[in-house]
Amino acid sequence: MNPARFSSFRRAGFFAEERPGTEAGPGKGENGMQAARREDRTMKVPAMLHLARLGYACLSREELRRRDRGTNLLPEELRAALQRIRGEEMPEADFARLTAEIRDRLNAEDLGREFYRMLRDGWNGWRLIDFERPERNRFRMAAEVSCGEGENRFRPDITVFVNGLPLGMIEVKTGERPHGIRAEYDRMRERFRTGSFRRFLQCAQVWMFSDDRDNDPEALLPTEGAFYATGAREDFPIHAFRETHPGICRRIGPRNREEEKRILAELGMAGLPADPEFRRSLSPRKPTHRMLTSLFLPERFLLLLRYGVHYLPARDGAVTKRLLTSGQLLALEELRGKAARGYRNWTVPYGGAAGEPALAAAVLLFLRDRFPCAEIRWLLPDPAVRRRTAGQLREDAGALRDVREESDSLLLKPAGESGEYAGPSRVILLSERERAYGARAGETRRLRRAPPDAVRVTLRTPVTPEGGNYAYLLECADGTLYCGWTNDLANRLRTHNEGRGAKYTRSRRPVRLVYYEEFGTREEAMSREWHLKRLTRAQKEQLIRRSGAFPEPETPEKTGKERKKNRTEGTK
């Protein structure tokens, strides 16, 4: 980070917690106005005030001084949360063992998989986060919390804490910096390769980058807009958030002027309300604030932490870490709503561009938590797909390690005792990707027979809104990619798989949707189709990876003639 940036923040009082005996508050440099850069006035501070409207309280400098410098964990916050959740105080010796184990797990070279397992499942019967009752958790935030020691350190613009655990990092830039998002992405990749930063980056489950501009849907690489991601050793996909929930804005709380004054005083910028540019930057409709609402709204953030983080086998035999895309997360939120209303037949849109196995893993975890005494069966007639999917699920932080392969499905046995359980005895999960074709249709109908009280969940392509226009990519049965456009995505995919679509896909069924983009007009969709057809196979695969699709297994090395044929067919 630029030394000039450090000096401006020190004058504004951001780092006062690291200099004992100093106080940085109103009155220094015209209430901090002279030291406040434009990025702070228009991006960072408005973002913190927006988080306050979502339910996040700002940490004081005194509270930050008492943090664990090796992990940025807040011991007092965590211990108070454990008592709120369980209703009793954790013994001092047990708490010391817990914090020591957190440090050990964060220091392991496993992308934080063991720490995430503790975060989701708890430690020795103690829950670190109450996912069922969000009101029992405490959501905090702080600006420029140092990660690392001495010169070898970095400071995220905003750090988000849940029960004292730093689980989110937010970087905001002004749109004046060209390629600022890409530069921040590259810096995070480089930091992840540095062992001294491992504990901090593996603890943060969600990273957000924003330059307060709308996303460019045609960009192969993220150069502007608002994105979110999680850490991995190599290239990791970053996602835009396409919000579709009609009432999301109603979840934003009203402005609390007294709380805003306290936050500004804490940052040494009590005079900012006099700045017209700052006042204009408080709108909840800004791209940065829309992303903050979609991602860090407490109930949704907890949903993402509980079901949205996945560990999957990579091509080189190692493990990679992925987050659910926005389409998958919204589908899971819809599933939770249907479960709360007592539906027996659920159809879950899997988001098209979202990788279907990612959502299926999240759905299985949700169903196990929702129906702990039910037998969960995922119908997968294709043996190769069944075997590969079982391997992916077993790698996924161990949560689904007991999944069992059967002749036509994957099976999860009941996880708990029946007791007073009044839910269904069986849950059937049917994937559209593995929907039977031709001779298999009768077998699938037979497999779907279930007891009368069974819950049936079908993962399907989302229903296309009337008037939508889409450019899309399909993966055919032979591994090639087909590009097209349509104004009815679900119907067009069904047409391709019934053999009534394009001539190219007719002999390469089944096909599956791996990527799509939505446009306001037919001309825009056709133009994007034209551009997609001119991308190389590698560029198309990069688009698909960025959308969050799970990597497929390695294919055998092809001859030069086969590679030339695939390059030609892949641009149909």
Note the pLDDT of residue 559.
45
d(CA 172, CA 36): 15
Note the pLDDT of residue 336.
86
d(CA 142, CA 362): 30
Range in 16-25, 47-56, 294-303, 321-330 with the lowest mean pLDDT: 16-25
Q: What amino acid is encoded at 249 in this protein? A: C
More reliable by pLDDT, 481 or 420: 481
Beta bridge partners of 295: none
CB atoms within 10 A of CB 413: 10
Q: Is residue 191 domain-shared with residue 71, that is, in the same domain?
A: yes
**pLDDT category of residue 464 using cuts at 50, 70 and 90:** very low
d(CA 498, CA 492): 10
**pLDDT category of residue 431 using cuts at 50, 70 and 90:** low
**pLDDT category of residue 465 using cuts at 50, 70 and 90:** very low
Note the pLDDT of residue 563.
45
Q: Is residue 417 domain-shared with residue 456, that is, in the same domain?
A: yes
Show the CA angle centred on residue 180, arms to residues 273 and 145, nearest 5°.
60
Helix (H, G, I), strand (E, B) or coil at 202: helix
Mind listing the pLDDT tens digit for each residue in 252-305? 999 999 999 999 999 988 888 888 989 999 999 899 999 999 999 999 999 999
Note the pLDDT of residue 233.
67
Note the pLDDT of residue 480.
92
Q: Is residue 227 domain-shared with residue 163, that is, in the same domain?
A: yes
Q: Is residue 213 domain-shared with residue 271, that is, in the same domain?
A: yes
On whether the CB atoms of residues 355 and 548 are closer than 8 A, the answer is yes
The answer to whether the peptide bond before residue 178 is cis (omega within 30 degrees of 0) is no
CB atoms within 10 A of CB 436: 17
Task: Tell me which residue of 161, 85, 65 sits closest to 125, measured CA to CA.
Answer: 85
Helices (H) and strands (E) counted in the chain, each on its own, are: 22, 19
Note the pLDDT of residue 397.
56
Q: Is residue 488 domain-shared with residue 453, that is, in the same domain?
A: no
The stretch 35-43 carries a mean pLDDT of 77
Q: Is residue 437 domain-shared with residue 556, that is, in the same domain?
A: no
Q: What amino acid is encoded at 142 in this protein? A: A
**pLDDT category of residue 378 using cuts at 50, 70 and 90:** confident
d(CA 381, CA 444): 8
More reliable by pLDDT, 138 or 113: 138
Note the pLDDT of residue 546.
66
Note the pLDDT of residue 488.
83
Helix (H, G, I), strand (E, B) or coil at 409: strand
More reliable by pLDDT, 293 or 454: 293
In 250-355, which residue ranges form alpha helices assigned H by DSSP? 257-266, 276-280, 287-296, 298-307, 326-340
The stretch 459-464 carries a mean pLDDT of 54
Helix (H, G, I), strand (E, B) or coil at 148: strand
Range in 131-140, 269-278, 332-341, 465-474 with the lowest mean pLDDT: 465-474
**pLDDT category of residue 483 using cuts at 50, 70 and 90:** very high
User: In this structure, is residue 300 part of a structural domain?
Assistant: no
Helix (H, G, I), strand (E, B) or coil at 124: coil
Helix (H, G, I), strand (E, B) or coil at 143: strand
The number of angstroms, rounded, from the C-alpha of 204 to the middle of its chain's C-alpha atoms is 12
Q: Is residue 359 domain-shared with residue 290, that is, in the same domain?
A: no
Note the pLDDT of residue 547.
58
Note the pLDDT of residue 116.
93
Note the pLDDT of residue 442.
45
The stretch 162-182 carries a mean pLDDT of 84
On whether the CB atoms of residues 516 and 470 are closer than 8 A, the answer is yes
Last residue of a domain, one of 425, 460, 495: 460
Q: Is residue 454 domain-shared with residue 511, that is, in the same domain?
A: no
Could you tell me the two tokens for 68?
């664990």
More reliable by pLDDT, 382 or 61: 61
Q: What dihedral do alpha carbons 557, 559, 565, 571 form, nearest 10°?
A: 40
d(CA 503, CA 522): 22
More reliable by pLDDT, 269 or 409: 269
Q: Between helices 298-307 and 356-370, what is the axis angle to 10°?
A: 100
pLDDT over threshold 70, residue 435: no
The stretch 363-376 carries a mean pLDDT of 86
Note the pLDDT of residue 419.
61
Beta bridge partners of 348: 459
Q: Where are the beta strands (DSSP E) in 386-454?
A: 404-405, 409-412, 426-431
In 316-473, which residue ranges form alpha helices assigned H by DSSP? 326-340, 356-370, 383-395, 441-447
Range in 116-120, 232-236, 360-364 with the lowest mean pLDDT: 232-236
Mind listing the pLDDT tens digit for each residue in 101-117? 999 999 988 888 899 99
More reliable by pLDDT, 559 or 79: 79
More reliable by pLDDT, 395 or 155: 155
pLDDT over threshold 50, residue 131: yes
Q: Is residue 450 domain-shared with residue 485, that is, in the same domain?
A: no
User: In this structure, is residue 302 part of a structural domain?
Assistant: no
Note the pLDDT of residue 14.
34
Burial of 133 per CB tally in 10 Å (0-12, 13-18, 19+): exposed
Last residue of a domain, one of 412, 436, 460: 460
Q: Is residue 495 domain-shared with residue 550, that is, in the same domain?
A: yes
User: Which DSSP string corresponds to 489-551?
Assistant: HHHHHHHHHTT-S-HHHHTS---EEEEEEEESSHHHHHHHHHHHHTS-HHHHHHHHHHTTPPP
User: In this structure, is residue 301 part of a structural domain?
Assistant: no
Note the pLDDT of residue 26.
36
**Domain holding 510: CATH number?**
3.40.1440
Q: Please provide the average confidence, as pLDDT, over all residues in the chain.
A: 78
Note the pLDDT of residue 393.
80
Helix (H, G, I), strand (E, B) or coil at 459: strand
Note the pLDDT of residue 398.
62
Task: Give the structural domain span for 258.
Answer: 3-294
pLDDT over threshold 70, residue 190: yes
Show the CA angle centred on residue 61, arms to residues 92 and 190, nearest 5°.
90
pLDDT over threshold 60, residue 386: yes
User: In this structure, is residue 188 part of a structural domain?
Assistant: yes
pLDDT over threshold 50, residue 18: no
Note the pLDDT of residue 19.
34
User: In this structure, is residue 374 part of a structural domain?
Assistant: yes
More reliable by pLDDT, 64 or 415: 64
pLDDT over threshold 60, residue 351: no
Note the pLDDT of residue 466.
43
Helix (H, G, I), strand (E, B) or coil at 477: coil
The stretch 67-72 carries a mean pLDDT of 92
On whether the CB atoms of residues 475 and 481 are closer than 8 A, the answer is yes
Note the pLDDT of residue 553.
32
Residue recorded with tokens 């994957």 = 410
**pLDDT category of residue 245 using cuts at 50, 70 and 90:** confident
**pLDDT category of residue 169 using cuts at 50, 70 and 90:** very high
Q: Is residue 393 domain-shared with residue 516, that is, in the same domain?
A: no
User: In this structure, is residue 299 part of a structural domain?
Assistant: no
Could you tell me the two tokens for 71?
């992990």
User: In this structure, is residue 227 part of a structural domain?
Assistant: yes
Note the pLDDT of residue 520.
66
Q: Is residue 435 domain-shared with residue 484, that is, in the same domain?
A: no
On whether the CB atoms of residues 201 and 247 are closer than 8 A, the answer is no
Question: What element of type H or E holds 58?
Answer: strand 57-58
- Domains held by the chain: number: 3
Q: What amino acid is encoded at 481 in this protein? A: L
User: In this structure, is residue 330 part of a structural domain?
Assistant: yes
The torsion region of residue 411 among left (phi > 0), alpha (psi -120 to 50) and beta comes to: beta
The stretch 24-40 carries a mean pLDDT of 50
Show the CA angle centred on residue 503, arms to residues 501 and 504, nearest 5°.
105
Last residue of a domain, one of 443, 460, 477: 460
On whether the CB atoms of residues 562 and 570 are closer than 8 A, the answer is no
Task: Tell me which residue of 269, 277, 270, 267 sits closest to 176, measured CA to CA.
Answer: 277
Note the pLDDT of residue 15.
36
